[in-house]
Amino acid sequence: MEQCFVDSSAFYALKDPSDKNNKEAVDFMENIRRNINMRLVTSNFICDETITLIRMKLGHESAVRFGDQIRESKVVKILHVTEKLEEQGWQIFKKYNDKDFSFTDCTSFAIMDSEEIQLAFTFDKHFLQYGFNIRP
């Protein structure tokens, strides 16, 4: 079964109808729901980042709703950034001084490398710069 890592940019686009990527995100998510051979994964760092972003832009109630949905989701599995993965993310962060990767991006890359995930549902070009395939 193919795995797809979901980034905060995709989660946010799904939640905010006014986001410029909303339609693409919703369409891609519908395609994933129909694809029984695709497993969605994310990280606890991405959940943190997304909840905070939703809180700042859409309000506390929306952030709580998203947090409850993601924590109870049967569609998206949350992988936790372990101490080892955090260290791997830190090494990636230090190595790429020519890129403006966030530390959360780097922990996502570490998880994707560790889990051998090549596809990311994201609107963040950093995943492409690091060498992953991105959708939509």
* DSSP 3-state of 34: helix
For residue 33, the model assigns a pLDDT of 85
For residue 93, the model assigns a pLDDT of 98
Cα-Cα end-to-end distance for the chain: 19
For residue 5, the model assigns a pLDDT of 98
For residue 23, the model assigns a pLDDT of 98
State pLDDT tens for residues 118-130. Answer: 999 999 999 999 9
How many of the other CB atoms lie within 10 Å of CB of 129? 15
pLDDT band at 1 (very low <50, low <70, confident <90, very high): confident
- Give the C-alpha distances (Å, rounded to integers) separating 100 from 96, 104, 125, 127: 8, 11, 11, 11
- Residue-range domains of the chain with CATH: 2-135 (3.40.50.1010)
State pLDDT tens for residues 40-70. Answer: 999 999 999 999 999 999 999 999 999 999 9
For residue 4, the model assigns a pLDDT of 97
Q: Considering the entire predicted model, what is its pTM?
A: 0.95
